[in-house]
Every structure is written in C-alpha cells, then in structure tokens.
C-alpha cells in the first residue's frame, strides 16, 4: 500500500513526521506540495480522508489567510480553492496511507494509519 507525505522540508513538524515514518520502516513517497500543488479535487478527496472540516485544515496564521478574508462561514469549497491557489494555507504535514489520511500534528498522529 502506498504511503505519501505532503511535505515541507522547512517545517519542523513535517521533518519530524517524515523521520518517524522512516524510523518505523514505512516506505514513503514525498510530495512537495508547495511546488506540486494539489488540485481542488485532490484536496477535497484528502479532506474526506482526514474526516475534518476544511476550516480545521487551514493555516490561519498565514498572510494569505488574512488577505483572502476567509472565515468559518467561507465554506469548504471556497477554503479548498484558496488552499489550491495558496498552498501555504494547507496545514502540514499530511500523510495519506491507502484510503485514510492524518495530520502530523503531533507527528505521532500518523501512526494510527498503520494500525
């Protein structure tokens, strides 16, 4: 089964999550999502796998968040489109394993994907 991490090498949690997966012997495919931006359809699929509202997957401390004027009332589709246009808004890291996904905050969260 394929395991993919949406990774930002500048992010300590992303680096920690990748190191944890590698220490567990997981063969991981790395997707540099800031360079290879997921489509809105892919974001929607992964959102479903995460099982959380788009608002909870959104990095609200970024300048793009403030500039776009997003709010809890924006709706999932508007948030996903903003994430596609500004991938820095995607909370990371995201680990996708089969049909499930988890946020690596904290990094140990992703281990539940392998139970």
Q: Which of 105, 85, 76 is nearest to 12 (CA)?
A: 105
Phi, psi angles (nearest 5°) of residue 87: -60, -15
- 11 noted as active-site residue: yes
d(CA 76, CA 87): 15
d(CA 77, CA 79): 5
d(CA 98, CA 91): 20
d(CA 106, CA 26): 18
| Catalytic-labelled residue, pool 5, 6, 9, 11 | 11
| Residues with catalytic function | 11
């Amino acid at each position: 089964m394929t395991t993919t991490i949406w990774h930002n090498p500048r992010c300590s949690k992303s680096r920690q999550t990748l190191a944890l997966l590698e220490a567990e012997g997981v063969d991981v495919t790395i997707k540099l999502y800031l360079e290879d931006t997921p489509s809105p359809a892919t974001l929607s699929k992964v959102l479903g796998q995460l099982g959380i509202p788009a608002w909870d997957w959104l990095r609200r401390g970024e300048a793009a968040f403030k500039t776009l004027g997003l709010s809890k009332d924006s709706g999932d589709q508007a948030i996903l489109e903003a994430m596609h246009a500004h991938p820095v808004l995607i909370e990371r890291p995201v680990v996708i394993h089969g049909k499930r996904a988890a946020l690596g905050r904290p990094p140990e969260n992703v281990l539940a994907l392998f139970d």
